[in-house]
Amino acid sequence: MNIIVVGCGRVGSQLATMLSIEGHNVVVIDRDESAFRRLGGTFNGVTIRGLGFDEETLEQAGIREADALAATTDLDNTNLMTCEVARKIFGVNHVVARLYNPVRERTYQQLDLDYVCGTTLVAESLVDKVKAGHGHHLNSIEDIEVIEFQAGPEIEGERVSDVEIARRFRIFSVVRGRAAHVPDGDMVLHEGDIVFASVKDEAFAKVERFMKE
């Protein structure tokens, strides 16, 4: 995959190094050239000094051939702007942002931005998100992931009890329009619903078909 990482702080440098070691083509952007020292000797990608939301900088980074972009700076507004430029101007479908302040979480959700919010295993979570590209990662607890996703056409007309997998996939909230629900097993799901759920890693492949691409 061709991946752009914006921000070379602790999280961004870890993410870029992990992806580079796995064999992906990684370009790291940071406005402070000294930040690239965090990458160490195992990183074999490209570094570019500049702002992640600057169109010329993104062009230089190969944004038009990018499969994914991760914005990991320590400024939520910068991460949001970077993802919006990548998605709306350059058409990158898979963008992931690091979210520091939970107060801004609603803004990210309204813009349908994929994000990681938390204080532990952030780089590892971002690696999974960049490679998998599913839903909104909310948190991880050992091998269980708490996610948010928009329901796709495969879920239309299905009851919650028909979709859930015992001890592997559980839906705990559904948002439809302006109303939020704690569903029972008989609730009928529809395409476009925002679903909050917990899923074990082993069951994700079975659940993925219900998610909007």
- How long a stretch of residues is the chain? 213
Fold designation for 144-210: Alpha-Beta Plaits (3.30.70)
The answer to whether the CB of 131 falls within 8 A of the CB of 183 is no
Pick the CATH number of 2-133 from 3.40.50.2300, 3.60.15.10, 3.40.50.720, 3.90.79.10: 3.40.50.720
pLDDT value of position 120 = 39
pLDDT value of position 134 = 45
Q: Could you report the average pLDDT of every consecutive run of 10 residues in the chain (213 residues)?
A: 92 88 93 90 91 96 94 91 94 86 75 67 56 55 78 94 95 89 96 90 84 75
Beta bridge mates, 147: 137, 197
pLDDT value of position 182 = 95
What is the separation, in whole angstroms, between the first and last Cα of the chain?
18
Strand, coil or helix: 155: helix
Which tokens hold the place of 170?
């559980």
pLDDT value of position 115 = 77
pTM (2 d.p.): 0.59
pLDDT value of position 213 = 63
pLDDT value of position 5 = 96
Domain segments of the chain as ranges? 2-133, 144-210
pLDDT value of position 132 = 54
Instruction: Collect contacts of 160-164 with beta carbons under 8 A, ≥24 apart.
Output: 160/184, 160/185, 160/186, 160/187, 160/189, 161/185, 161/186, 163/189, 163/207, 163/210
